[in-house]
Structures are given as C-alpha cells and as structure tokens.
A and B are shown apart, each in its own frame.
Chain A
C-alpha cells in the first residue's frame, strides 16, 4: 500500500513570497490533515478535512494560510505571504476514519 505522498520535500523562499505544498493521501482515506512542526516541537494541527469539507481549521492562520481539497483526494496548502516564523516542516496525514493517522515525509520550508 502506497503511503502519503508530499511534494516538494524542501523549499526555500524569501519572506513575503508565496509557496504551495501538495499532498496525496492514502487511497480511500476520507480524512486528511495538515500539520506544522517547528524545530524542537511536536506537530501542530493546522486543518482537518473530511472528504472535501473542513472539519477543523481553528489553528490555521487564515490571514496568510489557505488549504483546499477540492475533489476529496489531493490537497494543497498555501502560504501567502510567507513570514520568517513560517519556517517549519509541513506534514500531511490521512486516516480512514477515527483511527490511526498515517503521516507523509513532510515538506521542509525555510523562509529567508
């Protein structure tokens, strides 16, 4: 079974630029999550989708972050404009329901 795929793996941008991350969950998984993990901390949930609907986006900085999952499969997370403090690893995870979450390898973002 293929795991959660994410791209790109690494991204370096300057502050105030825009960036987008892509996630392809495990086939058949209805729930998709985006996490932000700052160095030395545990992952923090940014947004959770159930199919193509948002279940929880209470910790998403909506003034600069946006995410979509239009067809209930792939998802993109966008930051516009980026700030220095957005430097982190962005993890995507999926689950088949209220059970184990499977994480992708993450995208490491560095904002200069």
Chain B
C-alpha cells in the first residue's frame, strides 16, 4: 500500500497563529517523504524532503519548518502564519525502495490564512 493520510483537509487560521499539518504514510519502512505547496499558475513548489527520521532538507527559505519524528510521520509547522502561507499543501512519498522520482500524493490540506 502507498496510502497517504493528510489532515486536516481544510484549515482557516488567523495571521500570526501557529500551524501543524500532519502526514502519515502506510507501506514499507523508510520512505522518502516530501512536502509540496501548490499555488494556481505556479505549479508545485518543493518545500521539504526527508530521507529518514530527523533527516530533512529545506528547499525554500520561508516561514515554515518540517519534522519527521517517526519513520512514517511527516509534519509541516509554522510558529506564526503569514498571509502568503495560504495554499494547498501536498504530502508525497517515494515509491518504496527507490528514489526515482515516482511519487504518490496525499489528498492535500488547504490552508487559508486570514
């Protein structure tokens, strides 16, 4: 199984509030995990990727951070949200045992910052 669970599915938060988006995956252990942000007309922007527990690479300097406290759990966080953090956040995992670029995506979390 390559099932990916993301929650919450939708979230409305005020500016300056904290954020926590969670992603858990099923299937084989030690998957590569990714957080992307999808914005209209801008495609998918890679935010973070992780090759293992506590091994996280940040792609874009921003107001967000990521953590991987367990093998199959990937969390996207912010201490203080900005208006520009609004968007659709997608968690993805790599195909088990490979790093070819073939990814499986969750259903996403839509964040609106007011």
B is a partner of A = no
B residues lining the A interface (CB < 8 Å): none
Chain A residues within CB distance 8 Å of chain B? none
